[in-house]
Amino acid sequence: PKLPELQPAKIYLIDKPGAAQSVVNIGLPGPPRNTPDYFALQVLNTILGGQFQSRLNANIREQKGYSYGVGSAFNFGHGPGAFRAGGGVVTAKTDSALIAFMQQFRGVQGEVPFTDDEVRQGKQSLIQSLPRRFASVNGLAASVAALFTEGLPQDYYQAFPAKINAVSEAEMLRVAKQYIDLNHLSIVIVGDRATVLGPLKATGIAPVVLLDADGNPVSP
């Protein structure tokens, strides 16, 4: 079915009293598997949050120490998939971590240019992941099945390296701006409301909506 119209960005906060960390999930609808932007999105996301040395994890875990690990992904299907980013962050740094996520999103949209090294490593990470798809009977079956369930050409895996290597930085910038829409993000945070509510409001990133564990609005 057609997606409903996107709504302005909001932070949805679910209270978990006394939680030692906040679980952050940021996302919005993404394109289907048959998008012509698939390969550009794969390279973009590998650099942004798809591997350990990605920008998100390097900044929020390694540099700032707010988390044991954060990341991002584009999920694809026959219909619209989803862009998702997030992870668990220490409660006292929930607002700071959210600010860092936004900074990294803006970074891949042009504020922090891609380096030749990270583009090369991102592409090689994707290409070198191919062999493990065929390293077991289950992996082989899943890889072959994907050709049919996702409507891929028979030479998909043979052509994969060339398709990845052909992705340009201009394409990555374009898809980052197109598919990571900062004005329409849904930001879901489960954490200690008493500690994080005020600082989250102070970020000014988006209005905060209080929900219960079933997603129903609760009074302030």
Q: What is the mean pLDDT of the chain?
A: 95
Cα–Cα distance for residue pair 87/26, rounded to 1 Å? 9
Region for 135 from its dihedrals, namely left if φ exceeds 0, alpha if ψ lies in -120 to 50, beta otherwise: alpha
Q: End-to-end alpha-carbon separation of the chain, Å?
A: 34
Q: What is the pLDDT of residue 46?
A: 97
Among 53, 47, 94, 112, smallest CA distance to 203 is for 94
Per-10-residue mean pLDDT for the chain, 220 residues long?
Answer: 89 97 96 95 97 96 96 92 96 97 97 96 96 94 93 95 97 97 97 97 97 91
The token pair that represents 203 in the structure block: 């970020």
The pTM (predicted TM-score) of the whole model is 0.93
> What pLDDT shows up at residue 219?
83
State the Cα–Cα distance between residues 73 and 190, nearest whole angstrom.
20
